[in-house]
Amino acid sequence: MSTCKPDLTSWAAIVLIVLVSSCFVEPLDDTTVVRMSIDLGHIELPLDDLPGPRGPDGLVHLDEVPAYVQVTVTGPGIDTPVVASWPEEGAMSPRDEVVIELEVPAGQSRQFEIIAYVHWSGLLRAWADDGSIIRNLEGGRSSDLAATLEELAYGSLQCQLVGANTYAITEVIPVDGAPEDASVVGPGVGFPRLEVLNEGFQVERVPLGRPISFYLVRFGQETVVSPSPPATLDAPDEVTDCAVIVP
């Protein structure tokens, strides 16, 4: 995949623009290059430079990088999902469309799954596709796809820390994904930190259907991962109790 600098157009209106790449390369015979255009509509964000998303812990912290978009491609013969995301290092270009270019193995029934997060002024919002973007891709050819995402519904998690060392946990970072062996199944988006009170905490506006795990912050800022399985909400406006194990 080739890379190039995005068009740094400055708009007066406060909207989100993402332009990962405007270059388009010819794919090999066993691959296809897909240019995915994602319509998010107008999202209020500042026009500041956005840094690359991943921190030293491998997470995208939404209180540091207020927008994140990821495309994942799966299908027969694809052993490791193809993943592409925005922002890249130094990405800056406010518009209402995300354009992500990725190279995909050619073949039948390639499914494109998209998740997008925005956090600004204390409000978390999340979007996803409806699961219908499935294409047969011919090798040696390029493709243009478009997707309009829908905002997810939300619920809340009412969580209690359990274990012998609960007293040492001062903050919690909810994460979209299941951290295992320093990898994350999911986009690896870390929500803003939450303060622990009376060995418990509440996570507001949890997107439905997303696996939420927990990074636990001890005194002195040491961070550990809870071995608890991810919590998932299934009904809108639901408040669900959860137990978070402290290792």
| Shared fold status for 18-151 and 154-245 | yes
Return the CATH architecture of domain 154-245: Sandwich (2.60)
Angstrom distance (rounded) from CA 193 to CA 196: 10
What is the residue extent of each domain of the chain? 18-151, 154-245
DSSP, collapsed to helix, strand or coil, labels residue 11 as coil
Secondary structure (DSSP) of 33-101 = EEEEEEE--------S----SB-TTS-EETTTS-EEEEEEEE-TT-SS-EEEEE--TT-----SEEEEE
Handedness of CA 199, 205, 207, 209 (dihedral sign): positive
**DSSP E strands, 130-226:** 134-137, 142-148, 150-151, 154-162, 169-180, 183-190, 194-195, 200-207, 212-218, 223-225
Per-residue pLDDT tens digits of the chain, which is 247 residues long: 443 433 323 222 222 323 233 333 445 568 999 999 887 665 555 545 556 677 888 888 888 888 888 999 999 999 999 999 887 655 554 456 778 899 999 999 999 999 999 887 788 889 999 889 999 999 988 999 988 888 999 999 999 999 989 999 999 999 999 777 666 788 999 999 999 999 999 999 999 999 999 999 998 788 899 999 999 998 888 899 999 999 9
Hey, what CATH topology would domain 18-151 get? Immunoglobulin-like (2.60.40)
